Amino acid sequence: MARQLYELVGARDLRFSPFCWRARLALAHKGLEAERIPCRFTDKDRIAFSGQEKVPVLVDGDEIVSDSWAIACYLEDAYPDRPALFGGANARGIARFVNTWADTRLAPALVRLVMPSVVANHLDPADHDYFVSTREQRLGKTVAELRAERPEHLQAALAELMPLRQLLTQQEWVNGETPGYADYSTVAMLQWQRLVEGDELLADERRIREWRDALVEQVP
C-alpha cells in the first residue's frame, strides 16, 4: 500500500498512543486506508527517515509527515474533496485551540493516571526501562508515587473534563453538528486512557462515554 502509518505498539499488539489515534481517526474521517506499521518507543531506527523520533508518522506516496496536528492539516489540504476535518481556515484555528487544550491540559492530567497501568501491563518489555526513566524524569514523580496518588489524579482529570462535559450537554459534537478534528484530538486522549485502564474515570460520565464510543467505532 502506498500509504503507511507508523504507530506505537505495546504488549500484545495494543495500539494505545493518543497521537496515533488522532491520525487514525483523521484517516477514517477522510475515508483513507493506510498500512499500520507497529513501532515501539525504542524503535527509533524505524522512523529515522522522518527526521525526528516520535510517532505517528504518515507516509503518503512521496510525502512524509510527522506530528498528529501536521498530519491532520496535511490530510485536509491533500484531500480537499473528501469530508472536511476542519471546514475552513477559521474553523481550523478553533480546532487548533481544542487540540492545544487537549495537549496541555487533558493529556498531562491523564498521563498521571495511566502511567502506572502502562508500566505494569502494556509496555513491550524492550521499552520498559526507557519509558520509565523518561516519564519519571518528565513528570518529576516515580511510578510508585503516581500509583499511590491515584485518587487525587482521578479528581484532577475529572476537573479537566469540565468544558467537554458541559459542551456535550449543549451540542452533539465538539465540532458542532457533525464530528470533526476538534472531536478527534480530544477523544484520542480518552481512548488512550480507556485502552490502558478501563472505564473507572468515566464511570459517571455517560454522555462523554457515548460520544467517545460513537467516534472510535468509526475507526477500522
Ligand X SMILES: N[C@@H](CCC(=O)N[C@@H](CS)C(=O)NCC(=O)O)C(=O)O
* Segment near ligand X (CB under 6 A); pick from 25-33, 53-61, 113-121, 147-155: 53-61
Comparing CB distances to ligand X, the nearer of 195 and 205 is 195
| Spatial CB neighbours of 144, under 8 Å, sequence gap ≥ 6 | none
| Residue 8 engages ligand X in binding (rule: CB under 6 A) | yes
Residues in the chain: 220
Determine the Cα–Cα distance for residues 148 and 134; give it in Å rounded to an integer.
20
Of positions 35, 53, 63, 210, contacts ligand X by CB under 6 A:
53
Question: Are the beta carbons of 71 and 65 closer than 8 angstroms?
Answer: yes
Comparing CB distances to ligand X, the nearer of 26 and 205 is 26
Comparing CB distances to ligand X, the nearer of 53 and 63 is 53
Of positions 6, 9, 10, 19, contacts ligand X by CB under 6 A:
19
Per-residue HEC secondary structure of the chain comes to CCEEEEEECCHHHCCCCHHHHHHHHHHHHHCCCCEEEEECCCCHHHHHHHCCCCCCEEEECCEEEECHHHHHHHHHHHCCCCCCCCCCHHHHHHHHHHHHHHHHHHHHHHHHHHHHHHHHHHCCHHHHHHHHHHHHHHHCCCHHHHHHCHHHHHHHHHHHCHHHHHHCCCCCECCECCCCHHHHHHHHHHHHHHHHHCCCCCCCCHHHHHHHHHHHCCCC
| Residue 41 engages ligand X in binding (rule: CB under 6 A) | yes
| Residue 21 engages ligand X in binding (rule: CB under 6 A) | no
User: Least separation, in Å, of the C-beta of 101 and ligand X?
Assistant: 13
Comparing CB distances to ligand X, the nearer of 41 and 184 is 41
Comparing CB distances to ligand X, the nearer of 20 and 174 is 20
| Residue 184 engages ligand X in binding (rule: CB under 6 A) | no
Q: Are strands 57-60 and 63-66 parallel, antiparallel or unpaired?
A: antiparallel
Q: Which of residues 54-73 bind ligand X (CB under 6 A)?
A: 54-56, 67-69
Of positions 9, 17, 189, 216, contacts ligand X by CB under 6 A:
17
User: Least separation, in Å, of the C-beta of 71 and ligand X?
Assistant: 7
Q: Which of residues 123-152 bind ligand X (CB under 6 A)?
A: 134
Comparing CB distances to ligand X, the nearer of 10 and 205 is 10
- Residue ranges binding ligand X (CB under 6 A): 8, 17, 19, 41, 53-56, 67-69, 134
